């Protein structure tokens, strides 16, 4: 077998080629770490300009007072439609959840069995809460105040509260603001078919959605 003997010209090129290969092998990691370090520095700088506070959206809508209802016999809801049910003084009423998805219908200030009960529903957080239960002929005055950290805000007078917990959410009058003035009221989340089978004498709030969505 013939052995390979490099020519003098090849031998002269071999040393520079090896040197270039070593330089490239060292340069690639160096460039990578330099770029990575600059990205870390840039990221730390931009963190100062990114707000870590939850975004609050304020919009005021009065609660819908004593909403119109229909009897179970006249309702055309499918049995699997979700509803919120309440009972007061032996009277039963259901509230169609999807009918409460518009901003003007998130808060329903109602009267049932001579008791003022407000039913609230946030479709974004899928949270339903009811408040009240005091005996009076007129509804409570609870309004929709906006959204904060994905949850609904309610207002009574000039004070803002979280719908889910009834805790004070007003950033200006936090310590001085009074507690939520209405007690929590029990409700049942179920389907229309289940609710009307248990309470056939119930009526129900159903809203015929307008052609254009609420703004």
Strand runs labelled E in 22-81: 56-62, 64-65, 70-71
pTM over cut 0.85: no
Look at residues 37, 173, 153, 63 and name the one whose alpha carbon lies nearest to residue 117: 63
Residue 199: predicted pLDDT = 98
- The CA distance from 194 to 207, in Å, is 20
Helix H or strand E encompassing 182: none
Q: Which residues contact 62 (CB under 8 A, 6 or more apart)?
A: 143, 144
Look at residues 162, 187, 146, 171 and name the one whose alpha carbon lies nearest to residue 53: 171
Q: What is the DSSP code (8-state) at residue 118?
A: E
Report the sign of the C-alpha dihedral through residues 7, 12, 18, 20, in that order. Answer: negative
Helix H or strand E encompassing 51: none
Q: What is the DSSP code (8-state) at residue 120?
A: E
Q: What is the pLDDT along the chain (215 residues), one digit of tens a residue?
A: 555 565 565 555 555 655 666 656 665 565 656 655 665 554 554 454 444 555 678 788 999 999 999 999 999 999 999 999 999 999 999 999 999 998 999 999 999 999 999 999 999 999 999 999 999 999 999 999 999 887 999 999 989 999 999 999 876 555 677 899 999 999 999 999 999 999 999 999 999 744 444 44
């Amino acid at each position: 077998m013939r052995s390979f003997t490099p020519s003098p010209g090849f031998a002269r090129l071999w040393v520079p080629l090896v040197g270039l290969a070593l330089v490239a092998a060292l340069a690639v990691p160096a460039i990578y770490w330099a770029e990575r370090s600059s990205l870390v520095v840039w990221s730390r700088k931009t963190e100062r300009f990114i707000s870590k506070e939850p975004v609050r959206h304020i919009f005021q809508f009065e609660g819908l007072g004593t909403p119109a209802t229909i009897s179970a016999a006249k309702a055309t809801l499918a049995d699997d439609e979700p509803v919120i049910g309440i009972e007061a003084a032996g009277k039963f009423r259901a509230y169609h959840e999807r009918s409460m998805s518009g901003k003007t219908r998130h808060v329903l200030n109602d009267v049932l069995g001579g008791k003022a009960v407000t039913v609230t529903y946030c479709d974004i957080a899928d949270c339903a809460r009811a408040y009240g239960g005091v005996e009076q002929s007129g509804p409570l005055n609870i309004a929709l105040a906006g959204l904060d950290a994905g949850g609904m805000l309610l207002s009574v007078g000039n004070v803002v509260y979280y719908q889910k917990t009834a805790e004070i959410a007003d950033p200006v009058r936090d310590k001085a603001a009074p507690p939520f003035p209405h007690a929590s009221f029990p409700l049942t989340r179920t389907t229309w078919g289940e609710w009307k089978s248990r309470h056939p004498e119930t009526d129900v709030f159903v809203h015929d959605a307008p052609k254009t969505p609420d703004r």
